Structure 1
């Protein structure tokens, strides 16, 4: 059974790492995903071989972007970590988070930046304006893609659960 768990953990690790996360975060997520029990920072430090402080910083970031959930047990000062094991829900949360943290602020703030750039008479402002306007159009496209992806994934999730 341990071999199957390690193979599964490695498969999850490779999938997560391919999404651009660093080695430690990918390792932590794969361990939490494949472990049926809640894990503490001490557990994760021991299991990964990384220092407590490195694991703590990584878990703070992962819980901050809502990839992992942390909770305290009654009477304990330790945090216990878990992860959403429904990959469709996890995907929906990740897409919504990316849209909320990257795309929405850009769409909100870029029009004012574009106006400032348009009002500048500097020689390089025309090239900069083009770069900013292109980025703005890409953010609008990503917003539409992310919203459609979430809607489509939720529809598929509903159909899969019905079966």
Structure 2
């Protein structure tokens, strides 16, 4: 069984790496994904071979970006970590955070910047307006892609829960 667990962890690890995560984050998520119960920082450190402080800092980040869940058990001061096992939800949540931090602010700010450029009479205003306009159109497209991806994923999840 230990060989199957290691092979499974390797597959999850490679998937997380391909998602753009660093080695430690990928390793921690792979270990958490293959464990049925939440693990403490000490357990994660022992299972990965990384220092407690490195594991602690990385788990804080993974919790903040919603790739890992942090809980406390009654009567314990220790933090326990688990991972969202629904990969569709995990990826959508990560995309939602990026959309809220990157796309939405651009969509709010760019129209006013475009208007300023349109009113400007400087030599480079036309070129700048073109650049900003193209960037704005890309943000509109990304927002639409995200909304469609979210809806599509929700429909798949509903279909999976029926089956």
Question: When the two structures are superposed, what TM-score results if normalisation uses the length of structure 2?
Answer: 0.90
In structure 2, how many angstroms separate the alpha carbons of the residues matched to 1:16 and 1:31? 11
Query: Over aligned residue pairs, what C-alpha RMSD do you find?
Result: 1.7
Aligned-partner SS, 1:20: coil
In the TM superposition, structure 1's runs of 4+ consecutive aligned residues that sit over 3 Å from their partners are 115-129
Q: Offset at 1:125?
A: 4.2
In structure 2, how many angstroms separate the alpha carbons of the residues matched to 1:53 and 1:119? 53
Q: How many residues align?
A: 163
- 5+ residue gaps in structure 1? none
Q: Would the alpha carbon gap of residues 112 and 74 (structure 1) be closer, same or farther in structure 2, given more than 3 Å must change?
A: same
**Residue matched to 1:86:** 86
- 5+ residue gaps in structure 2? none
Q: Could you list the per-position Cα deviations for residues 46-79 of structure 1 after superposition, in whole angstroms to 9, with x for gaps in the alignment? A: 2222222222221111111111110111122221
In structure 1, how many angstroms separate the alpha carbons of the residues matched to 2:61 and 2:121? 42
Residues 95 and 150, structure 1, Cα contact 8 Å, conserved in 2: no
In structure 1, how many angstroms separate the alpha carbons of the residues matched to 2:126 and 2:56? 45
Q: Would the alpha carbon gap of residues 42 and 141 (structure 1) be closer, same or farther in structure 2, given more than 3 Å must change?
A: same
**Residue matched to 1:32:** 32
**Residue matched to 1:131:** 131
In structure 2, how many angstroms separate the alpha carbons of the residues matched to 1:15 and 1:126? 44
Aligned-partner SS, 1:69: strand
**Residue matched to 2:145:** 145
Q: Would the alpha carbon gap of residues 115 and 6 (structure 1) be closer, same or farther in structure 2, given more than 3 Å must change?
A: same
- What pairs up with 1:3-152 in 2 under 5 angstroms? 3-152=3-152
Question: When the two structures are superposed, what TM-score results if normalisation uses the length of structure 1?
Answer: 0.90
In structure 1, how many angstroms separate the alpha carbons of the residues matched to 2:59 and 2:152? 30
In structure 1, how many angstroms separate the alpha carbons of the residues matched to 2:49 and 2:109? 42
Q: Offset at 1:4?
A: 0.4
